Amino acid sequence: MTAAAHDNQGLVHSHGRAASRRNLTIALGLTVGYMVVELAGGFLANSLSLLADAGHMITDAGAIGLALLAMWIAGRPASIERTFGLHRSEVLAALANALALWLIAGLIFFEAYRRFLDVPAVDGRLMLVVGGVGLLVNLAAAAVLRPSAKESLNVEGAFLHVVSDVLGSIAVIGAGLLILTTGWAMADPIFGAVIGLLIVISSARLLWKVLHVLMEGTPAHLDLHGLCQRLEQLDGITGVHDIHAWSITTGYDALSAHVTADEAALNNPGQILERLRNIASQEFGISHVTIQLEDSEDGCVEDHHIAHPG
C-alpha cells in the first residue's frame, strides 16, 4: 500500500469514528433523560412492561457509555506490546453488550413468570402515556445511531439496545391499551415476556458477528477467491497461497499472503509488490496488507493452503 493510500484510509476511519462518537453522545443524552421518567412511571403504574423497558434503558445507557469508552481506548496508539493497538476493545464492547442483552432478557423472563403466578393490579393509562413518550425518544435515539451502526460493530451493539427499546415501547403501548379497554392485567407480564424474546432475537445476530471477528474469520464483505484471482491476473504472478484475511475491528481488515512469481517479476520485486498491495487495499478495501514474494511453493513451510478457483 502506498503512503498516500494508507493515510487516506486512516483519515476516513478517523472521520467515521468522530461521527460515531458524536452520535453515541447524543443517543446517551436522550436515553438517560428518559430513563428516569420511565423508571418512575413503572413503579407508579406497577407495570412489568414499563419496568422491563426502563431496566433495558439502564443497560442502553451502560451500553452506549461502554461503546464510547471502547472507542476512546481503541484510539490509543499502538505499542511494542500491542502492535495492532487496542482496536479490539470495540469488538469486546460489542460482545459485552450482546451478553448484557441476554442477561436482561433472562431477568425479564423470571419476573414475567413470577407475575403469571400472581398478577398484580396495573395502571394502564400511565403505561400508555409513558410508553408513548418512550417510543418517540427511542425512535429519535435509533435514528441518530443507525448511520454509524452500519460501519461499526461497537456502535451496532449500542444501536440494538435502542432498537430493542423501540420494540419494548411498542409492547408497553399494546399492553396499556389492552388493560384500559379490557381490564386484562395478564397482558402486562405477557408483553413483558415478548420484550425479552425480542431482545434475545435482536442480539443473536450481533453476537454471531462478534464471535466471527474474534475467531479471526474472513471479513463477510471480502471475496477472498475473487482477490486471489485478481492477484493472479498480474503479469509475472504464478500463484497465491497461504492467504489469511481477518478483521482487527470493524473497518480495519488485515491480509497476509504468499505470492509466487516468475524470474522476470522477481527481478523487480518492489514494483510488483506495490501493484499487489494496491489491488488488495484500493480494490478490496483492506487496510493492512502483508505480502511475501516467492519463486515457488517448495520452500514454504506454512500448512494453511486454502484452495481457490484458478
Distances from the Cα of 292 to the Cα of 48, 153, 230, 243, 310, angstroms:
60, 31, 16, 10, 20
pTM of the model: 0.71
**Topology, domain 3-214:** Alpha-lytic protease prodomain-like (1.20.1510)
Around Cβ 107, how many Cβ atoms within 10 Å? 13
Give the whole-angstrom CA distance, residue 162 versus residue 59.
Answer: 10
pLDDT at 52: 67
Q: For the domain covering 224-294, report its CATH number.
A: 3.30.70.1350
- Reading the block at residue 222, the C-alpha cell is 471480502
Residues 6+ apart with CB under 8 A from 213: 91, 153, 246, 247, 249, 250
Domain ranges of the chain: 3-214, 224-294
Write down the mean pLDDT value for the chain: 80
Question: pLDDT by residue (tens digit) across 263-286?
Answer: 888 888 899 999 999 999 999 999
Give the whole-angstrom CA distance, residue 271 versus residue 174.
Answer: 65
Residue 5 has pLDDT above 50, yes or no: no
Residue 307 has pLDDT above 70, yes or no: no
Q: Strand ranges (DSSP E) for the chain?
A: 237-249, 252-261, 288-294
- Reading the block at residue 244, the C-alpha cell is 489469511
Residue 89 has pLDDT above 90, yes or no: no
**Between residues 13 and 215, the one the model is more confident about:** 215
